[in-house]
């Protein structure tokens, strides 16, 4: 890409990461390189490539041409110096912790993060001698106070899964910087189309690429972006521990990302329309969407995000029994543990984001049992609303 002018997000979604790599037989698409290893004709060149003194690849657990193109595309979209990929989103998160945290370190985060992340905080990190302090998500003062006590890392997820709360990255990053802490932000819900956390003071951005980035629910992957120095540490940890992104998944994610900007713009618009419609429905008790003016963090979202995202959640009268009644009636929505794809996907946290957690753990995280997570697809929004209307009519 030209350094004289930064291309827009839609352009980078298509061309990012694809102009710096040799194309085979003049192909216009990045090829899928399935080779496990890469051969050399002399030891010196082989050795130099292995030591990263010359460009090239040695073994696909470490680097791979198709995977590198995916990493570079995300890197450009996030405005990062470097990126490294992983086999899934949770691998990106757990490897970030593994690479950067040591016994005796302290991490500050929020209570209602994604269920898998919450399990790392409550079940896996403490036995390793890492202190975890989880704060009330909506209380920036509490987070700042805990950070001020000292920590190695501040970990944020915004918007949160599934409560769709929004954290002020810039404000909290300043608090972390004051004590020399690293700031890691899960940007899966927002995507780089709506938010660029690095520009707001974050040090590392992580994504579950299986969600909005790929967009077609057909490839698992994760990615982390940041400075050369930090990403080199994450890459080294991942190359040794082996949570490698497969070339075919990298290709599927690359292909999906070509429409990332178009998809997210459509999902932003549809989610806003659906949130407003749900808010006026008589059986809907609560709608969580940062684009709504009465959302607790609407002002933060308005200042921080270019769009409010395709994710929303809502509760209905009758709780879980009502959910069991109306969700199966939806015709244009998968009941599945996924999000961010072209099809609309729905489900309560008890079987999606927080299925690993007990009811008590979900309650402690501020997640009601009667909540519905709604991932807006790119269908005609009039059809989605009509579908919701007929399904909700079964609740009396």
pLDDT digits (tens, 9 = 90+) for 340-396: 999 999 998 776 665 666 777 767 766 777 789 999 999 999 999 999 999 999 997
pLDDT at 24 over 70: no
pLDDT at 314 over 50: yes
Mean pLDDT over 23-37 rounds to 84
pLDDT value of position 112: 87
Q: CB of 339 within 8 A of CB of 211?
A: yes
Residues 6+ apart with CB under 8 A from 214: 221, 252, 253, 256, 257, 340, 341
- The catalytic position among 40, 59, 61, 302 is 61
Percent of the chain with pLDDT over 70: 94
Cα angle 189-190-194, degrees, rounded to a multiple of 5: 160
Question: Omega of the bond prior to 162 within 30 degrees of 0, cis?
Answer: yes
d(CA 346, CA 252): 23
- The catalytic position among 105, 112, 186, 249 is 186
Among 124-138, 276-290, 320-334, 361-375, the range scoring the smallest mean pLDDT is: 361-375
Residue with tokens 């690095």: 198
d(CA 63, CA 60): 5
d(CA 122, CA 130): 10
User: What predicted TM-score, i.e. pTM, was given to this entire model?
Assistant: 0.94
| Residue 316 to residues 160, 216, 226, 319, Cα–Cα distance (Å) | 20, 29, 40, 6
- The catalytic position among 72, 105, 112, 114 is 114
> Which is more confidently placed, 364 or 165?
165
pLDDT value of position 1: 47
Mean pLDDT of the residues in the chain: 93
pLDDT value of position 389: 97
d(CA 374, CA 393): 18
| Dihedral sign from CA coordinates of 23, 28, 30, 34 | negative
Q: Any catalytic annotation for residue 218?
A: no
Q: First and final CA of the chain: distance in angstroms?
A: 57
Q: CB of 137 within 8 A of CB of 161?
A: no
Q: Any catalytic annotation for residue 186?
A: yes
Q: Any catalytic annotation for residue 165?
A: no
Task: Render pLDDT for 221-244 as a digit per residue (tens, 0 to 9).
Answer: 999 999 999 999 999 999 999 999
- The catalytic position among 73, 119, 165, 211 is 211
d(CA 261, CA 193): 6
């Amino acid at each position: 890409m030209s350094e004289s002018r930064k291309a827009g997000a839609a352009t980078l979604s298509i061309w990012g990461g694809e102009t710096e790599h040799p194309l085979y037989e003049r192909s216009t698409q990045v090829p899928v390189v399935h080779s496990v290893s890469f051969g050399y004709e002399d030891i010196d060149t082989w050795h130099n490539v292995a030591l990263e003194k010359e460009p090239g690849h040695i073994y696909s657990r470490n680097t791979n041409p198709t995977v590198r193109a995916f990493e570079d595309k995300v890197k450009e979209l996030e405005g990062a110096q470097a990126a490294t990929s992983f086999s899934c989103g949770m691998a990106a998160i757990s490897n970030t912790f593994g690479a950067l945290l040591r016994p005796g370190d302290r991490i500050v985060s929020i209570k209602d993060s994604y269920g898998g992340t919450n399990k790392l905080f409550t079940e896996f990190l403490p036995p390793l001698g890492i202190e975890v302090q989880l704060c009330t998500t909506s209380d920036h003062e509490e987070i700042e106070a805990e950070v001020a006590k000292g920590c190695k890392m501040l970990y944020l997820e915004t918007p949160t899964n599934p409560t769709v709360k929004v954290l002020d990255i810039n404000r909290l990053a300043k608090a972390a910087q004051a004590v020399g802490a690293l700031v890691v932000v899960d940007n899966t819900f927002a995507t780089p189309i709506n938010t660029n956390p690095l520009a707001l003071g974050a040090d590392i951005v992580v994504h579950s690429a299986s969600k909005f980035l790929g967009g077609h629910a057909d490839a698992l992957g994760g990615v982390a972006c940041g400075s050369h120095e930090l990403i080199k540490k994450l890459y080294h940890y991942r190359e040794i521990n082996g949570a490698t992104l497969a070339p075919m998944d990298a290709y599927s994610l690359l292909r999906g990302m070509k429409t990332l900007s178009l998809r997210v713009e459509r999902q932003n618009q549809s989610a806003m329309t659906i949130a407003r419609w749900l808010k006026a429905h008589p059986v809907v008790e609560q709608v969580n969407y940062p684009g709504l003016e009465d959302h607790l963090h609407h002002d933060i979202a308005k200042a921080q995000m270019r769009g409010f995202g395709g994710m929303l959640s809502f509760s209905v009268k009758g709780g879980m029994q009502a959910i069991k009644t109306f969700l199966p009636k939806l015709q244009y929505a998968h009941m599945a543990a996924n999000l961010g794809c072209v099809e609309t996907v729905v489900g309560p946290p008890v079987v999606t984001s927080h299925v690993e957690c007990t009811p008590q753990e979900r309650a402690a995280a501020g997640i009601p049992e009667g909540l519905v997570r709604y991932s807006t697809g790119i269908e005609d929004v009039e059809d989605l609303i009509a579908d919701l209307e007929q399904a909700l009519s079964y609740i009396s």
